[in-house]
Structure 1
Amino acid sequence: MLKKLFAFALALMAIHSFAQSPVISAKDLANELKTNKNLVIVDVNAPDVYAKKHVQGAISLFFKELYQPNAVEGKLRPAPELAEILGKKGISNTAKIVVYENESNKHNNRVWWILKSLGAADVWSLHVDAKEFAAAQLVLNSNPATAKPTTFALAESKYKSLTMDEVKNLPQGTLLLDGREKEEFNGVDAAKKSKGHIPGAVWMNYREVLTPTGAFKTKDEIIAAASKFGATPEKPIVVYCNSGVKASTLLVGLKEIAGFQNVQYYGGSYADWSSNPENQIVK
């Protein structure tokens, strides 16, 4: 009897921890696949990467498909267009969705945020940890997977992106965090065409919330890392990067895992800010 109660308690703890964060491990995914045949797995890698190997049954949704062509880098298509793309892929707003990519821990979080901003109710981002991935023994293959087209119904969401004007008029005391590489922040990265950063921004590379293997740090580890940059759980914070990708990882780490109370996201980021020649950029 005691053994059964103990096992039940462990199960409750696992469910509780799973529900507290939108980030799941490969082990969680493997267990979920055993019981949920309607789970929608979304692979956001480039098509050639997907073609080589992917989680069995995963739908290919290259993150760049969600961007406007011939526009500011990373600018999203209008919401109705995004909903149409998702529906044609077989992704509905009511499905349980797990988003992943290989090696990095950036674009999966960007697509997670996009789905949440459109009103998807149940979206998860997979931990990127090669050792955990291997241990979970997820079935990988190269067979393309398709799903029956469905409807992605747009819905109101609390996940919103700040506009350029809102960033210009941030309340006093707001901490603006730049999640890019230090060279981009300092305006010395010619490859990225960065001339510097938004005035008042503090540099905090997005990897500060990740372990060396690419998985997210624990709540306490993230709080400790963020404190070095003046970020505390109570402080109003805005995160940005070059085009909203790395900042999405900062957002998930600070807000969703570490529980920071007031973290906002400037999805347009430096690309949007620098598109206006009247905006000041500092080094």
Structure 2
Amino acid sequence: MSTIVNCEWLHERLNDDPENMVVVDVRFYLNDAEAGRKAYLKDHIPNAVYLDLEKDLSDKPQKHGGKHPLPDMETFVAKLGNIGINNDTDVVIYDQSNDMFAARLWWLLDYVGHEKIFLLDGGYDEWVNQGYEVSDEIPTLTSSKKFIPDFQKYTVADIEEVKEKMETGAATLIDSRARARYLGKTEPLYIKAGHIPGAKNFFWKDVLDDRGKWKSPAELEDNFSALSKDDEIIVSCGSGVSACPNILALRTAGYKNVKLYPGSFSDWISYPENKVTKGEE
């Protein structure tokens, strides 16, 4: 079935078959690191657990590696078991709406080899708008499980691979940020503006329709029609988070050879010798 599920599907599963399902709330706000957790504590989908972008889904930034480097994988895998996820558990992830953070957890779960991952279309806003029950009760985690990882290392590209494949033309690099940031007209987060030379701009929010819902596979295929399905595609953004919706969308549209550059632009500019381009490619 599709990775994208609706509120009715989740509501039925929670009523009929809740035992082998974990619902994860990943609400987060880049301008207020505690706001997502506070929102979860106020109310959430019943029995949902909370994972934090910067405490659970990322490691602390270093000199190189970007603003949101991948978490230590041994720790991440242990956390999965601690919140009740093993290899057979259905995992449903939701954000405030269809934001980038749910896709970040989807990508991490896919990277460690989990197969039963779902995103709630419309996120928490849609759940509330449809009148489904919410709760402020924090679930008690009494029975941890063990998740056995099967790392999909071919889905990650580091900076050296990006450089090599951009020089040889062996891959297409996507920049998932808003167009004004890609063009270098504005940069709210980093000391340099522009993009990695050769990158093509596919704003991640373009995978959503006018209502903010996920586009259909056919619509996503049209969104990426300028890209060849025979090519390797490396997806970047600012720090490896908003790239993840594009990766999910590309996979949904039938692209097989898709990688994440986790450090993305924030890693690229941490090396003074790396050039940055402004304007159209």
Query: Same fold by TM-score, threshold 0.5 exceeded?
Result: yes
Deviations 1:118-176 (A, max 9, x none): 22231112212678535754321111123233323322336621111111112526321
The answer as to 2:24 corresponding to 1:42 is: yes
AA in 2 matched with 1:274: I
* Residue 43 of structure 2: aligned partner: 53
Decide which moves more: 174-183 or 242-251. 174-183
* Residue 103 of structure 1: aligned partner: 97
The answer as to 2:49 corresponding to 1:68 is: no
Q: Of 173, 177, 187, which aligns to 2:184?
A: 187
* Residue 260 of structure 1: aligned partner: 255
Aligned-residue sequence identity (percent) comes to 28
Unaligned 5+ residue runs, structure 1? 1-18
* Residue 87 of structure 2: aligned partner: 93
Secondary structure of 1:113's counterpart equals: helix
* Residue 16 of structure 1: aligned partner: none
Decide which moves more: 119-128 or 109-118. 119-128
8 Å CA contact retained: 2:95, 2:124:
no
The answer as to 2:4 corresponding to 1:23 is: yes
The answer as to 2:212 corresponding to 1:214 is: yes
8 Å CA contact retained: 2:128, 2:134:
no
8 Å CA contact retained: 1:90, 1:146:
no
Q: What is the total number of aligned residue pairs between the two structures?
A: 261
Decide which moves more: 66-75 or 177-186. 66-75
AA in 2 matched with 1:113: W
Alignment partners' CA distance in 2, 1:143 and 1:159: 40
Assess, with a 3 A threshold, how the Cα gap between structure 1 residues 200 and 70 changes in structure 2: closer, same or farther.
closer
* Residue 107 of structure 2: aligned partner: 113
Assess, with a 3 A threshold, how the Cα gap between structure 1 residues 153 and 61 changes in structure 2: closer, same or farther.
same
AA in 2 matched with 1:68: D
Deviations 1:201-241 (A, max 9, x none): 111101111113322101121122223xx224444322111
8 Å CA contact retained: 2:97, 2:125:
no
8 Å CA contact retained: 1:44, 1:100:
yes
Unaligned 5+ residue runs, structure 2? 28-35
Secondary structure of 2:242's counterpart equals: helix
Q: Of 192, 196, 199, which aligns to 2:197?
A: 199
Alignment partners' CA distance in 1, 2:95 and 2:154: 21
Query: TM-score, normalised to structure 2's length?
Result: 0.84
Query: TM-score, normalised to structure 1's length?
Result: 0.84
Assess, with a 3 A threshold, how the Cα gap between structure 1 residues 144 and 92 changes in structure 2: closer, same or farther.
same
Assess, with a 3 A threshold, how the Cα gap between structure 1 residues 144 and 129 changes in structure 2: closer, same or farther.
closer
Once the two structures are TM-superposed, the CA of residue 98 in structure 1 deviates from its matched residue by: 0.7
Assess, with a 3 A threshold, how the Cα gap between structure 1 residues 130 and 212 changes in structure 2: closer, same or farther.
farther
Once the two structures are TM-superposed, the CA of residue 99 in structure 1 deviates from its matched residue by: 0.9
Once the two structures are TM-superposed, the CA of residue 108 in structure 1 deviates from its matched residue by: 0.2
AA in 2 matched with 1:222: L
Alignment partners' CA distance in 1, 2:208 and 2:153: 25
* Residue 231 of structure 1: aligned partner: 227
Give the structure with the larger helix fraction: 1
